[in-house]
Chain A
Amino acid sequence: MQHVVFGLTTGGVLAAATVGFALIRQTENFLHIAHGQVLALGAYLSIILITNGGLNVFVAGLVAMVLTGILGVALGAVVFKPVADQGGNVLLFTSIGLAFVIYGAIIATFGTVLRKVPVGLGSRIEFSVTEFVLVLALAAALATLVGWMLANRARRAEHREVAGTWAGLWAARGTGLMLALITAAVLVTFVLATQSDGFGTGSHNGVDIATSELAMILMSLGAVLSLQFFLSLTRMGRWLRAAASNPSLAAVRGIPVRVVSGVVWFIGSALAAMAGVMIAVRRGGVTTPLGWENILVILSAAVLGGTGSIMGVMAAAVLLGLAMDVSALWIPTAYRLVVAFGALILVLLVRPEGLFSTRRRAEQAS
């Protein structure tokens, strides 16, 4: 039972990391392998700010996000922009090279020893079965409501001529659908888990969640929803989608493509840092392999989610998190990553474009 909470936390943290990766992938059109190292850098910065600067974990996390975001903008302009015309492969290998450079810089700056995070996991909030189901039902109702509102807005937007309308439409429609899907997945997992581990007879009579875990889930959800609304409802968001769809056309139509690119690098890198901070708190400390340990899972969540939908990527991350943690009830935990990558292979066999990709639909529509 408790595994559902673990899966949601894992999925939430993974979502924050993956959405930034997916955003860069969609707009810059390459796999940013150095994203894992950016995540690690954010984690290290927050630890330094907490231990040496005496900052509160939330303030330290926020500062680390801003600093890492600025670094991301600089990297985008200095490292990737000059080779952007050389194609995806050159960008990919530039990113791999950058990953090693950041990794080396982290070792040189912070050393190789374990850096502890002097932040506890917080007190436990306990739920009974009824309370937990009620919370999930409330989440489902909210998801449906948000989805309905966004779908209505999308219908109205269909009649407007705005750059990247297709993406806005599908993103808006997808939001409610993805939230509902996540809730459904959680409910199904809940039922399965309840049947499996003899709910109520184990060491815990109910479900408990540490305040830090709740904060991570809510912050991830908040960040991803904010990003979704930013992309759907703001002018910059529309520019961003237009630039992702066709950069040349976007430039001709007067969209400041370089500014848009900077915004993407900032958001993507800041989200990576946010995930890094959360992972550091979860682990209680970090070591230099942190970035390498996370990039493959991020990559798999992004591929699983598909291109074109931020909410789809989030849903994929949460599903992956649930799969990894809830599968522990039936499959030895040593195979946790095998479950994740097994699910990825299965999905790719059935749906190569990813679970929630909108690109194919967009291509068909155009």
Chain B
Amino acid sequence: MPGSAEPLLAARGVSVYFPVGSQLAARIRHEERLLRAVDGVDLEIGRGEVLALVGESGSGKSTLALALAGLRPVDRGEIRFDGRALPANRSRADRRRIQMVFQDPYSSLNPRLTVGGMLGELLRVHHVVPRSQVEAFSTELLTLVGLSESDLSAYPRQFSGGQRQRVAIARALALRPDVLVADEPVSALDVSVQATILNLLRDLRGELGLTLLLISHNLAVVRHLCDRVAVMYLGRIVEVAPTEQLFSAPRHPYTQGLLAAIPRLTDSADYGGAPAVAGDPPSPLRIPAGCRFRTRCPMAQPRCEQEDPALSASPDDPGHLAACHFAFGPVAAAVGELQKKEQP
């Protein structure tokens, strides 16, 4: 829960860089071109909490997820888990405790292993249960995600997209992890199937007390499932707040624009006017100086070009953080109100 003593999983000043362009030229010039995919992120997830990480493509949300799950080394900062910093090379026991579900269930399952073979291998390698119980526990896992024992002998190709995603979730749960990191778990699925997977994740959370980090670009999905939301833009977290608060009173101008940009079933009469957020996001190779959002921000001031705003808490509410000079001033609140009126 937000505000509890020690978060289960935390990122402290985490940065992940990718070198781009010719490595030879970089060595000659003594400077490397770096793509700062994640650029100094602080984020905490409490035990039993469902935290959403939202952002557009290129915002670094998937890279941050990979770093948290230990699938990608961090270049700066540290990842803390259960009260201690995790080393760069995690032990097998540490890796077990944070598991991942990927976006595309068509490419994330081994096509040449049956579901039973896949789960059995995991359970044996990690000694999750005694060998004699491997089959029984595999069946239990499948039941948990809504599949049946007979599916143990099936290959991934025999399943539909939604069923494959269930298998992927069963595989992640096989190691009895504390944290499940789900990177866009439903965006590759049809609408009617998405609902079954979202409901499954919500039920699992209730049954197993799972801590869940859900990465999504779809804010409607997030609102349905999560306790808190963190919004990412160009490698930084720009706003964090409890879900309802983020949706009803967003403070960062990017969050406000993102919310206004969502198509709605109940539509405003005059569609076709000015877009919610103008322009394209800048390339992460050329991050603007000062505030990163200023190039698209409707209320950018000269100050925003010079000072990089830090992620700081609202004076009224320590659980609501935003990285904007004016986030908790009267202007931001007024803009938020105005946008709410425009979008009834």
Q: Do A and B bind each other?
A: no
A positions within 8 Å CB-CB of B: none
